[in-house]
Structure 1
Amino acid sequence: MKHDIFYTPQEQYVGMPHATMCGDFMPYYWQKEFYLFFLKDECVYLTRTKDFVDFSEARMVIKRGGDEDQEWHVGTGSICRMGEKFYFYFTGFRNPETISSENHEQVIMRAVSEDLLNWEKDSSFFMVPDQEHCADGHWRDPDVFWNEEMNKYVMLVTATEKEGADDRRGCTVIYTSDDCDHWKFYKITYAPRIFITHECNNAFKMGDKWYLIFSCFNNWWETRYRYADSLEGPWTEPANDDMFDGRQFYAAKTVSDGTHRYLVGWQSVKRDCDDAAKCIWGGTLLAHELMQKENGELEVKPLETVVNAYSEKVELIPHGEQGEWKIDSIITGEEQQGFGWCELGELKPECMFETDVIWEKGTRYVGIMLHTEDRNLSKWCQLRLECCRNRMVMDRFNRRDGDQSYIEERPVDFKDNKAHIQIFMSGNIIVSYVNGTALASRCYSTGIGGIGVFVENGKCQYENYHLIEKNN
């Protein structure tokens, strides 16, 4: 069993080949256990967990085909159950050298199992692109489920419209079936003429709303969502935030145990473990619990089982370094002319920090200093709450001239000048939650280091602060 909330079957190393780490998790819940299928080395693997803390050893369940086969590479799909059998619908990617008018690049294929562990490819099922209603090319990522309202099985397909502006024809198509064998076109349910395509579609109902989750790569890797009163739409874009996490959280799909619904995706890694390098496909598992707000929009929080995996409290000895600090059960900091910070203590290899912060009106920035190397802050990461802009930012010491990558940011609703912060740290990954908003990031160039709090151009208080180490 692997005991790490950021699961990966293989740790990253410098020079690691493309698609070697895991990605595109396809979760399925069965008999009190989560079956997490994922892509690795162009094949499908499986790990199982009951709590997203302990994971079984990965096993290959669907092997890629040969150079002449349609499933030269196996791509994303989903699992459904009919009768006593499980059906795994997946994408078969053909070798580019063998593509022709008869041999499509992408075809929807299927495997069958009786126990979710042993799968056999079903050569009788071969769903080619529907060129009557869609363009050839993008035709993948089938999301199959039973729809009680329609009394039919439903398949969502990632596709593109036949006509329209370049790179704006991405759409989500619905097909229906009575038997999981024969599928009929139902409608194009979402075609906003914004994205290249909608990867890894996933639809579900929560309360009285339907939700459509998809991932896109127009500018960055992003997982987005829309909501509606019906699976048929029309779909509404959330007013302020249609994402769940930052621009390195991708291909997320949801799974429910009947009580909770979890969003399961992957946090990408950077080439050669270099902060300034580009992200590459694959990474580590990252799961959030979805929560429905009164207005129908969604927010996220850490899984309760994950929070409970941290119970060993770490002693903190706060010490003001710059600015004016009053140290007690509540830490009060003030610096009206720039940056001030207070060192708290040393981090652990796997730990969680939690606090509530309150600031005076007019304060510019507050937040947490992470992986600090020394009192002079020669190395650091920083979770910065920009009170004046209603956003959170993850920054680091080496984002300097020559590293003009995008800002790792998320919009946050700061009510009453306060925020609740939870940060999970393990190796180079940092996952922060602030007021129902998540932001995951990585920093390769720091050690474990220390932790502190800061204020910039203002005054604030940190309450209920504690650092907790993960259980062995």
Structure 2
Amino acid sequence: MKVISIIMVVVCVIFFAGCGEKEDALQLENDKNKKENVELSNQVIRRLFPKLESAWVGDVMPLVDGKEIYINYLYETDYNGVAYHPIYQFTTTDFCEYRNRGEVIPYGRKLDSPDLAIGTGSFIRDKEGIYHCFYTGHNDKAPILGIDKECIMHAVSKDNLNWEKIPEDTFYAPEGFSTDDFRDPFVMWNEEEKCYWMILGAKENGKEGSCIVKYTSDNLKNWTFQGIFYEEKDLYFMECPNLLQINEWYYLIFSWNNVTYYRMSRDINGPWIQPENDTFDGKAFYAAKAIKYNENYYLLGFIARKKRNKDELDYSWAGNLCIYELVQKKDGTLGVKVPREYENKYFTKIMDWNVEEKMEEVFTNNTDLVEIYSKGEKFNYASLGILPKSMLLSCKISFDESSNDVKAGFIFGIDEKGGGYPIVFNISEKMICYDGYQLGGLFETDIRNMQKFDFKAGETYNVKLVVEDEIIIVYVDDMKVLSNRIYNAINNKWGFFVSKGRVVFSDITIKIPEQGQER
């Protein structure tokens, strides 16, 4: 014990000896961020999946305020220092054009600041018109400093741009809960109970799984712990929890390990039902939050990136902002589809297309139909030439009644040998998947990105494909999506493919933005 104590003293001496230099560096970094804010203030970005040139979009914290959506997010770079993840902000009215408002909440400026790093939170406007942000304070040096690693912090603003932190409102995990995993507050007004609710992710000490806990307040300043709101035994943690009501159903949405999940209930207090397919997308779309805007419902998250732009690597945290429109089915389950704004405002020009290259057993009328037949393991494809920089494809995909083992879909980055990077509709395994490797055979890899879907032989499915540079998203029947980055798709050939069966791609239309519209 004496030896350990001596070691801890030495570590602390070394750590605090360097504090002055490190805090000077933090000040320089804050000054750099302020300079960037001035330079990029009100920069307009007309893209479907925006980000700033120098950074990536992390967890999002949207706020609908009148006719505008304020999309706050954790600002991630490839060169984070000891302090990281200030909160930045985009605004939009249509999900097609965004305005950058720069940094709104900086990380702490001292090495012992509870928010030396910032984690996810939420924004809300009170009845007096004051804006509130509740966010996670995180400090990786907590063991040395003798403080809790995570806490909940509060900031206020009169204009939703200039924010003041309220340190005295900070609070920590209650007794019996982990001080390392206590984060991601979501705050809402509960009209029935006439008070504010806060739910956030937590872990009980000594127990497997995780939980979401609830607090209540009547003034957004003093919070009362109300216990466990929801528990999961199979997930280590539930990040970014949030609540949404659509008609008579309530939805609890949360994320873990690169996947966003949801639960449903007719009562906001539960019990919560786990749908048979409880996800929206694969593992590229993460940390999603739901909003209501113009009487429609949307899911906002980010599409993760791959380091060094390598298709063979797995996804890394943070990337580009991504929006889906939510669809409520008759049984209360949720689907996702292309936001209506993309189709009505962004993709407005019809593009003519032709099959420029094809293998055996391919028929096309070069107007709206491609039919492909493949015997055995061999795959056939029809190439439509170079992939547009930005496009929306709509089509129907019909599987032959005898095609119980067929694999079909879209192939990108087609090379001179006929290989490429396929997004696969797999009937026998009932899923949409992308394996990130060039097509030599259609096989599973260790970086598989997939979404379950109950494909059936003899059925027809409505499919849409949205492309913007390397971001490629497939939407099926307004139910499920699979988002991907395929870097080898850029400036290369693409098309349709089939393996082990007959498939018809019909009612094919391709739309692109008007020239100069995207930038």
TM-score normalised per structure 1: 0.91
Secondary structure of 1:307's aligned partner: helix
Task: Measure, in 2, the Cα distance between the counterparts of 1:110 and 1:243.
Answer: 31
Task: Measure, in 2, the Cα distance between the counterparts of 1:140 and 1:397.
Answer: 36
Matching of residue 468 in structure 1 with residue 511 in structure 2 = yes
Matching of residue 32 in structure 1 with residue 67 in structure 2 = yes
Higher alpha-carbon deviation: 443-452 or 454-463: 443-452
Of 367, 376, 393, 2:408 maps to: 367
Tell whether the 8 Å contact from 2:391 to 2:512 is kept in structure 1 after alignment. yes
Task: Measure, in 2, the Cα distance between the counterparts of 1:438 and 1:344.
Answer: 23
In the alignment, which residue of structure 2 is the partner of 1:14? none
Per-residue CA deviations over 1:197-244 (Å, capped at 9, x if unaligned) read 111111111111111111112xxx1111111122222111111x1111
Higher alpha-carbon deviation: 67-76 or 89-98: 89-98
Of 98, 108, 116, 1:72 maps to: 116
Relative to structure 1, is the Cα distance of residues 454 and 286 closer, same or farther in structure 2, using a 3 angstrom cutoff? same
Relative to structure 1, is the Cα distance of residues 85 and 454 closer, same or farther in structure 2, using a 3 angstrom cutoff? same
**Partner amino acid, structure 1, of 2:385:** G
In the alignment, which residue of structure 2 is the partner of 1:407? 448
In the alignment, which residue of structure 1 is the partner of 2:51? 8
**Partner amino acid, structure 2, of 1:76:** T
Matching of residue 226 in structure 1 with residue 263 in structure 2 = yes
State the 1:346 CA deviation: 2.9
Task: Measure, in 1, the Cα distance between the counterparts of 2:303 and 2:290.
Answer: 15
Bigger radius of gyration: 2
In the alignment, which residue of structure 2 is the partner of 1:211? 251
Matching of residue 172 in structure 1 with residue 212 in structure 2 = yes
Relative to structure 1, is the Cα distance of residues 31 and 173 closer, same or farther in structure 2, using a 3 angstrom cutoff? same
Task: Measure, in 2, the Cα distance between the counterparts of 1:327 and 1:395.
Answer: 28
In the alignment, which residue of structure 1 is the partner of 2:373? 334
Tell whether the 8 Å contact from 1:67 to 1:95 is kept in structure 2 after alignment. no
State the 1:186 CA deviation: 1.7
Task: Measure, in 2, the Cα distance between the counterparts of 1:307 and 1:377.
Answer: 32
Stretches of structure 2 that go unaligned for 5 or more consecutive residues are: 1-43, 76-83
State the 1:27 CA deviation: 0.5
**Partner amino acid, structure 2, of 1:130:** P
Tell whether the 8 Å contact from 2:178 to 2:204 is kept in structure 1 after alignment. yes
Tell whether the 8 Å contact from 2:60 to 2:301 is kept in structure 1 after alignment. yes
State the 1:374 CA deviation: 4.5
Give the alignment of 1:43-442 within 5 angstroms: 43-65=86-108, 66-82=110-126, 83-96=128-141, 103-131=147-175, 134-165=177-208, 168=209, 170-217=210-257, 221-239=258-276, 241-308=277-344, 309-318=346-355, 321-328=358-365, 329-337=368-376, 338-363=378-403, 364-374=405-415, 376-378=417-419, 380-398=420-438, 404-414=445-455, 417-435=459-477, 436-442=479-485
In the alignment, which residue of structure 2 is the partner of 1:16? none
Relative to structure 1, is the Cα distance of residues 276 and 400 closer, same or farther in structure 2, using a 3 angstrom cutoff? farther
Task: Measure, in 1, the Cα distance between the counterparts of 2:72 and 2:416.
Answer: 44
Task: Measure, in 1, the Cα distance between the counterparts of 2:101 and 2:302.
Answer: 16
State the 1:396 CA deviation: 4.5
Secondary structure of 1:266's aligned partner: strand
Relative to structure 1, is the Cα distance of residues 397 and 160 closer, same or farther in structure 2, using a 3 angstrom cutoff? closer
Task: Measure, in 1, the Cα distance between the counterparts of 2:418 and 2:254.
Answer: 40
Tell whether the 8 Å contact from 1:6 to 1:285 is kept in structure 2 after alignment. yes
Relative to structure 1, is the Cα distance of residues 99 and 113 closer, same or farther in structure 2, using a 3 angstrom cutoff? farther
The percentage of counterpart residues that share the same residue type is 26
Higher alpha-carbon deviation: 352-361 or 405-414: 405-414
Task: Measure, in 2, the Cα distance between the counterparts of 1:414 and 1:95.
Answer: 46
State the 1:375 CA deviation: 5.6
Tell whether the 8 Å contact from 1:68 to 1:98 is kept in structure 2 after alignment. no
**Partner amino acid, structure 1, of 2:164:** E
Task: Measure, in 2, the Cα distance between the counterparts of 1:365 and 1:449.
Answer: 25
Tell whether the 8 Å contact from 2:45 to 2:99 is kept in structure 1 after alignment. yes
State the 1:278 CA deviation: 3.7
Secondary structure of 2:349's aligned partner: strand
State the 1:327 CA deviation: 2.0
The alignment yields a C-alpha RMSD, in angstroms, of 2.2
Secondary structure of 2:308's aligned partner: helix
Per-residue CA deviations over 1:27-51 (Å, capped at 9, x if unaligned) read 0111211100001141000110111
Tell whether the 8 Å contact from 1:323 to 1:339 is kept in structure 2 after alignment. no
Per-residue CA deviations over 1:318-348 (Å, capped at 9, x if unaligned) read 2562232332243332223332222233321
TM-score normalised per structure 2: 0.83
Higher alpha-carbon deviation: 388-397 or 67-76: 388-397
Tell whether the 8 Å contact from 2:150 to 2:180 is kept in structure 1 after alignment. yes
Relative to structure 1, is the Cα distance of residues 327 and 397 closer, same or farther in structure 2, using a 3 angstrom cutoff? same
Relative to structure 1, is the Cα distance of residues 341 and 153 closer, same or farther in structure 2, using a 3 angstrom cutoff? same
